[in-house]
Copies of this chain bind each other. A is one copy, B any other.
Amino acid sequence: MDDIEIETVAEPETEQPVFVEGLPGVGHVGKLAAEHLVEEFDGTLVRRVYTTSFPPQVTVGDEGVAELTHAKFHYVETGGENLLVLTGDHQAASNEGHYALTDAFLDVAESFDSQRAFALGGVPTGELIEDDEYDVLGAVGDAATRERLQEAGVEFREDEPAGGIVGVSGLVLGLGQRRGFDAACLMGETSGYLVDPKSAQTVLETLQSVLDFEVDFADLEDRAEEMEEVVGKIQEMQGGGNVAPDDELRYIG
């Protein structure tokens, strides 16, 4: 196998879809959001990307049929702007792998004539967030993009997130901008301790407004309710206190 292999699954007619990335990360916010788009709009699988910097692993599906780990691109027709959505179960395992893999992802996006790119993710706040206080933080490749996002309610805060943006999301922005994409990162605030469908919904609401589509949130709302029950039970077990940043609680879901 080559270091990176891009497999063509389908070649639908497309017109400059907006590239949307949602790989695993803080609170799995980006992954939940991107998968929700693919499911709700019944996206078409167009590319599989295999790489030797993914873990040496197969996933086993419903029928016991195994698939070599890979990232997926779906073409998603939303009624508004159409999307090229990247999802998957892994990031790369090394610095070098991250750069090579993101370059490959951007190659795919370029081959679809994508000119805009959104990296979706979460930004950890360190504490559980009250229901109506979810903000979406933004970062952009250039100032013009920022203004359009501010109109959609995206927050831009000096030097936040403090540690920068790490992983494929960061590189979609950093490498994407160097290759001429109009790139932005939308980060939903999230505790950082739990898988967070609520934060994913907030990120999607922002994306809707920017890209002029409407998606049904019933499924994410169900998952958010399940998570609230989990949190409730944990708080009971801890005598009603707040959920502590205990490693055992990270990414329960």
B-binding residues in A (CB < 8 A):
1, 3, 52-69, 92-100, 102-103, 138-143, 146, 156-161, 164-168, 170-171, 173-175, 177-178, 185
Contacts and interface: CB of A to CB of B under 8 A. Distances in A.
A60 B171 contact: no
A18 B166 CA distance: 34
A119 to B, nearest CB: 10
Contacts of A170: 56-58, 66
> Which DSSP category, helix, strand, loop or mixed, fits chain A's interface?
mixed
Given A60-B139, A65-B143, A143-B63, A95 B158 contact: no
Number of this chain's copies in the assembly equals 4
Nearest to A142: B65
A103 B1 contact: yes
A230 to B, nearest CB: 18
Nearest to A169: B58
30 contacts: A1-B99, A1-B178, A52-B99, A52-B100, A55-B95, A56-B167, A56-B171, A57-B166, A57-B167, A57-B170, A57-B171, A58-B165, A58-B170, A60-B164, A63-B146, A64-B138, A64-B140, A65-B139, A66-B139, A66-B141, A66-B164, A66-B165, A66-B170, A66-B173, A67-B174, A68-B171, A68-B178, A69-B164, A69-B174, A94-B95
A166 B66 contact: no
Contacts of A175: 1, 68
Given A53-B95, A56-B99, A56-B166, 14 more contacts: A1-B99, A3-B96, A57-B167, A58-B165, A60-B139, A61-B159, A62-B158, A62-B159, A63-B156, A64-B146, A66-B139, A68-B171, A69-B174, A95-B97
